[in-house]
Amino acid sequence: METMTDPYARLAAYYDIENADLVDDLPTYAALADRFGGPVLDVGCGTGRVAFHLAARGLRVVGVDTSPAMLERARRRAARHKFDPARLAWVEANITQLALEEDFGLAIFAYNGFMHLLTQVDQIAALERIRAHLKPGGGVALDLPNPVEMFQAEDVSGLVVERIFANPTTGATVIQQSLARLDRAEQIMELTWVYDSVEPDGTTRRDLVPLRLRYTLAPEMRLLLDRVGLQVEGLYGDTDLNPYEEESPRLFVAATRAR
């Protein structure tokens, strides 16, 4: 049963299809895992996009997410591909309250996941819990959109078509649209994803997925990490680790816990 506490309950059906091409970051996470070793804590793991890639390389990965719907899809995929539960585990938990009896060589907060933390209080709590679960010398990677985009974006009052894709399970054509409103003073984006599924017989179903997301500025990120005792190694403009600049597509952050 869908609940209002899980905004991904409706989005989960579309998530893997619309993000099938999101693979550019995977080599970077694999390289970081080679450097820092395992196990790997995959925060905001969703349906397991990053977790499966690293587990297939022989690493133990623990995926953490608040969405039962997304985790259920991850578990079904793990069972279908017969992943060893000792190598790949799933935990339904809020990162701000995470308490596992395991230390990790690397923690990953992949594609936009950190944006779901809407206050600095929650951001600090999450980073504190991540640090508490790292081995001395362990690494952290966070991937966010470049926050400069919120100042460059034009305010649009109507729906914007993001992409059109086919749902191979149902045969429907899915039109994904967005409606966004920016509060630049608070660095908050009110976002509604709109999915119109046009079935082969012409019937249409609309799913609405409302989200609130927070942008984090690069200097702010440095202060947050310093506050919790994580040392910034670099702020990068993409997952290829090019220098972070105003026009960069991403804000990719690498940090370590002191030994």
What tens digit of pLDDT does each residue of 14-59 get?
999 988 889 999 999 999 999 999 999 999 999 999 999 999 999 9
**Least confident span in 1-5, 12-16, 135-139:** 1-5
User: To the nearest whole number, what is the mean pLDDT of the chain?
Assistant: 94
Residue type, 50: V
Going 107 to 111 to 115 to 116, the CA torsion angle's sign is negative
Domains of the chain, first to last:
8-146+216-257 (3.40.50.150), 149-214 (2.20.25.110)
Integer Cα distance of 114 and 40 in angstroms: 17
DSSP three-state, residue 250:
strand
Residue 213 predicted with pLDDT over 60: yes
Dist CA 103 CA 90 (whole Å): 15
Cα distance between residue 47 and residue 119, in whole Å: 25
**Which residues fall within 8 angstroms of residue 253, CB to CB, at 6 or more apart?**
140, 141, 142, 143, 144, 221, 225, 232, 234, 235, 236
- Residues 6 or more apart whose CB falls under 8 angstroms from that of 209 comprise 7, 8, 10, 11, 192, 193, 194, 195
Distance CA 96, CA 105 (A): 19
What is d(CA 195, CA 9) in angstroms, rounded to the nearest whole number?
A: 13
Q: Assign 10 a pLDDT band (cuts: 50, 70, 90).
A: confident
Give pLDDT, residue 87.
92
Query: Mean pLDDT throughout 201-213?
Result: 93
Lookup: tokens for 108: 């990953």
Is residue 193 within 8 Å of 211, Cβ to Cβ? yes
Q: Report how far residue 127's alpha carbon sits from residue 192's, in angstroms, rounded to the nearest whole number.
A: 27
Distances from the Cα of 63 to the Cα of 107, 126, 134, angstroms: 10, 15, 15
**CA-CA distance, 138 to 33, in Å (whole number)?**
10
Lowest mean pLDDT among 109-118, 145-154, 190-199: 145-154
| CA-atom Rg of the chain in angstroms | 18
Q: Rounded distance, CA 146 to CA 256, Å?
A: 21
